[in-house]
Structure 1
C-alpha cells in the first residue's frame, strides 16, 4: 500500500510540474498576450533543413544574442512525406529536435505549417505524389486536396502535441500558420477561393492547439485567425479587425521581388542596407506593431535539389543577419541587435496603449506612447528620402537624418537612430587553396560527365570556378547544384547603395560580370579529417582539377562613429548626470578567438570619406587620431575610444566630426 501511495504522489507531482509551466497564449488589438501579459515580440526565420543539426544550436544562440524572442520556420511536407504514408523526420528533417533546441535556448517558436510554403522550395513544399491523386486540384475547394492537407496538418499538430511542444502544454510554440500568401493569388481560383479559406481556418482551429493561428497576406482571414503582413515595409498595414494585433510575418531582410528577388543563376547579387532594414522595423513599431519577423534571419543553403522556381541558386544566404555559413553578418547583425534593445526599452509603453501620432512638418512624424503610471516613449521619424531635418519635440531639438527614426525610451533622450550604428564592420576575403585531388573514377556520355575524386583536405567551402553546370556530393551528401559558367550581366551594380528611399532588389546589386554563385557551402559535419570523396555530375564539361577549397579570412575590421551618435546602448541604465558627461564611443573587437588587433590601416577624426576598405581623409583630419588609436588598440582583443574633441583634438571648429577606423586582426 505504501509503495502504491509513493507512486501516486510521484505522479501527482509530475502533473503539477508539467502544468505549472504551461502558458496561456491569446491576443487582443495591441499584441500577443502570454500568461495575461501583452508582449513585444521580435522573431527571425531559420529553416531547419537549410542548415544541419550540428549548426542549429549555434544559429539559435546567435539569434538569441541578437535580441530575438521567437524563431519562425516553415514545415516542409515533401521532405517529411516523400512517399505517401512514409515519413522522414531524421537528420536535417528532425523538426522535433529543432523545436526542442529552440525551447532549450529559452525562445518561442512560430510554426508555419502551411502546408503550402512557397519558400523558393521545390514544388512549394508539396510532395510530388500529391500531383497524381485522381481529381485533385491544389489550394482550392477540392475534396481530394483538402483531405490530404488536413491529414498532413493534423499529423504535424499531433506530433507536436505528443512531444508537448505547444505553449498550452508547456512548450515553446506560441503561434501556428495555416496556408501561405493565398491572398496574393486567390483571384485565380474564382468563387472557390473563399470557401477554401474558410474551410482551412476552421480545420486549423479544430485541431485545438491552444495557441493562435495566423494567415499571412490574407485580408479576409476569418475570425479568430489573425491576418498578417509580408513585405519590405508594413508600417501602413492594418489587420482586418480592431480585435487583432498588427503583425509582420515576413520582413524581407535581403531580396524578395519578382524577377530579381532571390539569388538566381545568371543574376547579380541583391542586398539590403541595414539602415533601411532598421528603418522599416522601427517604423512598424512606431505605428502600432508589436510582432515582427525577419525573413530570413539565417537563410542557409538549398541542399540537394530543393530549390524551387526558375534559376534559383543553391545559396539561400538572403543577405541575412547570420550568413549562409552561420557567421554573424556585420554591421547588419550588430545594428539590429541594438535596434531590438532600444525597442525593448519602450516595451512597457508600447503595450500600454495605441500611439498618438502627430506631424512635425513635411515628411516628419512623432509617435508617442504613454503608460498609465506616467511612463512615456517616443519615436521621431524623418521619411524624406533626401534631406536631413532638425525638429523640436517636447522643447528639445533633435537632428533626424533622412529616412531614419530616432527612439526616445523616456520621451527625452535618443537611445538610437536607425541611420547611425555603432556596429563593427568586417571585410571578409576568401583564401583559396588547391584541392590535391585524386581522380578515382570518370564516366562520360557527352556532354554529361561523372567524376569521383578524393581530397585530403578539410574545408568549409568549395570554389567551383572552372566547372560548368551540374550537381556535387561530398561523402554522399548533396551540396546542391552549381552553375558557375552562367555569368551575370555587367550592368546594374553600384559601388555603394543609397539606403534612403523605398527599397527594391534592383536598387542595390553587386557581383556584376561574375558567376552568381562561385563558392558553395560544405557543412563541417559532412567532412572527415581526410579522405573526403567528392562526386561531380557535370553537364557542360568542366575541369575538376580547377576546383579549390576555400576558407574565409577577415581582411579588415572597421567602425565609423560621429560625434552626434547616440551613446552606446549599454549606457542607457546610467544616471542622467553620467550620461550627459559621456560621449559617443567607437568600439572594435576582433571577431575570432585568440585574435588581437595587429595594425591600424586607417584612422581619421574629422570629415573622413568612403566606406570600410576604402576610407580616405576628408578636408579636415586630426593629426593625432592615428597615434591615439594605435596606442589604445594595438595588441588588444578589443578597444574603445571616446569620439570627442577632448580625446582626439579639434581639427575644424564648428564642423560635425566623425571617427573612422580600419584595423587588422591576427
Structure 2
C-alpha cells in the first residue's frame, strides 16, 4: 500500500503561520513533533477521500471523525479526476476539492493534502490521467521530460488554487502538510539512477512551490534534504527517522484492507489496530494517520485493478455508508482519549525503557514538573502476563498495551473492548410486493445483440492491445471474425463439438458464436495471461466468432505499470477432424464500447433511445442485458 515519508520545505529553524478565526499561530517542527502556536502537538489523522463519498456526506463524515478523537483529515488529490484532458480542469461534484477543504476548516480541523499527483490508492491508473500515457515519449514516474512537465504543471495548478482560496496554514487555512509523489522509494530500485534523479527533482520541485508548509512523500528511504522520512507499515513502532531533527510520523496505519472481486472480505480486529497505535506513541510517535478512516465507494469507473471492487469500505472505523463501525470506531475513540491524556509529558518529557520480563516492557515518560506517563506492552500474541511495575501488580492480556497517564492507573488497555457492537447487514428483498392493492414490481429490459453494432471502428489482421485501443474511455472492446465450415466436416456428422481456445492478457472476456453466448473467461488479477476453453456449436457454412474483451480497472502502481497491456492475444478452434485452426491472424473487425453505453441508456434522455421490454421477473442467464 501507501508507505510514506515527509518532505519539508525549510529547515527546522523556520516557522509557518497558521491562522484560525483571525488568531495567528506559528507552526514549526522539531525532532519530537509538529509545533502549533508554540506548543508541540500529538496529532491523530484520518484519511477520507473526497471523491469516494458524495458532497452531502462530507460534513457528517468529518464531524463523526472529530467525535472519534481525530484532529486532522487527510486526502489525496486525484489528478485524473481533475484534469480530464490537457489543460481541461474539473472541480465539480465529488471532485470539489476546495469545498471539501472548507468543510474540514469549518469543523476546526487540520488537513493533510497529498497532491501526489500519483496516488496509487487502488484508484484507476494510480490517479494519473490515461491521456498522459499517449503523449509521445512519456514514461511515468521517471526522469522523463514529458511526464515531469505535466506533473509539475498540475501540482502547480493545485497549489495555486489552494493559495487563491487561502487554504494553506500560512493563510489561515487548514492545510498543514502537503505531499509530492507517493510510494516512490519502493520502486526506485527498478528505475535505478534514473529513479534517484526523479525523486530529487520531485523534492526540489515541491520546495519551489513556496506553500510555507511541509510536504509529504511516500517511502523514500534515502530521502534528500529537506525531507523528513516517515513510516508506513505494520511495524512503525520500530521505525526511527534518519535524522534526530525529524519527528516520527506514521502516514498510513491500515485499519483494514480493500476488497477484490472473488477475494475474501478483509477484516482487521480493532484490538490489533489499537495495539499498533498505542505502540507507535509508546515508542515516540507524534502523528498517526489511519488509511482509511472512511473508505467510501469507487464510483463510476474509478476503481483500479484489475478486479478492485466498487466498495472501498476498507473495514474502516466509519463504514462505506457513513455510519460508525462499532466496536472499531468506539474503541479507537477511547484509545485517542487515553493517549491525549499523556500528550504533554509524551512530547516534552524524557523517556526510559525498562524490561518487565519476557515480551513485556514499559516506556516511562517524565518531565521537570514531576508528571509521569507509562505505556506497558505485552508483545506475546498468545499468553497473558502478570507484571509488577512501581510496586503495583498489573495484568496484561496477550498482544496488548496498557496506558497509565499517571504511571499508576490503567485508563485503557488495547485488548479490552468495552464499546458496543453493531452489525450492518444487507437483507435481500423479494421483488414481488406482498401488500394487497400494490402493483407488482416491473423491470424494463433491453438486450443488446452480440458483436459489432453500427459500423466497425476499424478492421485489422491480428490483435490490438485493449488499453491502447480504448484509451480507457470504456471497459469494452468487441472483436469479430468469421470462419467457413465445410458441410463434410466429421464433427458435424458425429454431433461432436470443437472447442474455442482463447488466450488473453486480461482481464475478462465473453465469447459468442453466431450471436449465441458460449461462456466467460477471467484472469486472476496478475499480469499473466489466462486461457478460455469451451465447446462451441458450429454449423456448415459461415460462422461468426465474436469476443467481448473487458478491463476491470487499470493497474494502480508498480514499476512501469503504465506499459502493462490487456486483451486477446490468440484465438484457435480445436477438434476439427483432429486439426487446429488458428484465427489469430484473421481479419478482425473492432468496435470500441457497447451500444447501451454509447447511447447512455442508463441516464437521463438516453433512456429513451432504445426500446425497453417490461417484465415482472428479471431475466437470468442472458448476456448483454440492461435492467432498469
TM-score (norm 2): 0.68
Matching residue of 1:114 = 116
How large is the Cα RMSD of the aligned pairs? 3.2
Matching residue of 2:622 = 541
Offset from partner CA, 1:173-205 (integer Å, 9 cap, x none): 011111101011100101111121111111111
Pick one of 385, 388, 399 that aligns with 1:392.
Answer: 388
RCO greater where, 1 or 2, for CA within 8 Å and sep 6 or more? 2
Matching residue of 2:212 = 210
CA drift at 1:398: 0.5
Offset from partner CA, 1:246-296 (integer Å, 9 cap, x none): 0000001102xxxxxx31111111100000000000000000001010000
Pick one of 380, 386, 408 that aligns with 1:412.
Answer: 408
Measure, in 2, the Cα distance between the counterparts of 1:228 and 1:407.
Answer: 24
Larger radius of gyration: 2
SS in 2 for 1:123: helix
Q: Is the 8 A contact 2:445 2:626 kept in 1?
A: no
Deviates more, 1:197-206 or 1:85-94: 197-206
Q: Is the 8 A contact 2:449 2:624 kept in 1?
A: no
SS in 2 for 1:119: coil
CA drift at 1:233: 2.8
Offset from partner CA, 1:296-318 (integer Å, 9 cap, x none): 00000011111112211110000
Matching residue of 1:97 = 99
Measure, in 2, the Cα distance between the counterparts of 1:392 and 1:371.
Answer: 23
Matching residue of 2:329 = 333
Matching residue of 1:300 = 296
Number of positions where the alignment pairs a residue of Structure 1 with one of Structure 2: 456
Q: Is the 8 A contact 2:447 2:624 kept in 1?
A: no
Matching residue of 2:457 = none
Measure, in 2, the Cα distance between the counterparts of 1:29 and 1:538.
Answer: 64
CA drift at 1:24: 2.8
Matching residue of 1:64 = 66
Runs of 4+ in 1 over 6 A off after TM superposition: 16-19, 535-540, 542-547
Pick one of 37, 40, 53 that aligns with 1:38.
Answer: 40
Matching residue of 2:130 = 128
Gaps of 5+ in 1: 1-15, 256-261, 450-469, 472-480, 490-525, 548-666
CA drift at 1:36: 1.8
Deviates more, 1:355-364 or 1:423-432: 423-432
Matched, 1:422 2:503: no
Matching residue of 2:256 = 254
CA drift at 1:427: 2.8
SS in 2 for 1:64: helix
Measure, in 2, the Cα distance between the counterparts of 1:68 and 1:448.
Answer: 53
Matching residue of 1:380 = 376
Measure, in 2, the Cα distance between the counterparts of 1:65 and 1:73.
Answer: 19
Measure, in 2, the Cα distance between the counterparts of 1:311 and 1:539.
Answer: 23
Q: Is the 8 A contact 1:437 1:545 kept in 2?
A: no
Matched, 1:82 2:163: no
Measure, in 1, the Cα distance between the counterparts of 2:370 and 2:23.
Answer: 33
Matching residue of 1:444 = 448
CA drift at 1:20: 4.2
Structure 1 residues 50 and 115, CA gap change in structure 2 (3 angstroms): same
TM-score (norm 1): 0.64
Matching residue of 1:309 = 305
Measure, in 1, the Cα distance between the counterparts of 2:179 and 2:620.
Answer: 40
Matched, 1:281 2:269: no
Q: Is the 8 A contact 1:30 1:354 kept in 2?
A: no
CA drift at 1:428: 3.1
Structure 1 residues 448 and 295, CA gap change in structure 2 (3 angstroms): farther
Deviates more, 1:189-198 or 1:222-231: 222-231
Deviates more, 1:438-447 or 1:63-72: 438-447
Offset from partner CA, 1:392-446 (integer Å, 9 cap, x none): 1111110000100000000100000000021001133333324554344513123
Measure, in 1, the Cα distance between the counterparts of 2:72 and 2:268.
Answer: 22
Structure 1 residues 17 and 56, CA gap change in structure 2 (3 angstroms): closer
Structure 1 residues 184 and 425, CA gap change in structure 2 (3 angstroms): same
Q: Is the 8 A contact 2:42 2:343 kept in 1?
A: yes
Measure, in 2, the Cα distance between the counterparts of 1:319 and 1:156.
Answer: 31
Pick one of 52, 55, 60 that aligns with 2:54.
Answer: 52
Gaps of 5+ in 2: 1-17, 432-439, 454-474, 477-507, 511-519, 525-601
CA drift at 1:222: 1.7
Offset from partner CA, 1:88-118 (integer Å, 9 cap, x none): 0000000000000001011100000111000
Matches within 5 A, 1:343-492: 343-435=339-431, 437-446=441-450
Offset from partner CA, 1:36-76 (integer Å, 9 cap, x none): 21100000100000000001111000000000000000000
Q: Is the 8 A contact 1:366 1:379 kept in 2?
A: yes
Q: Is the 8 A contact 1:266 1:486 kept in 2?
A: no
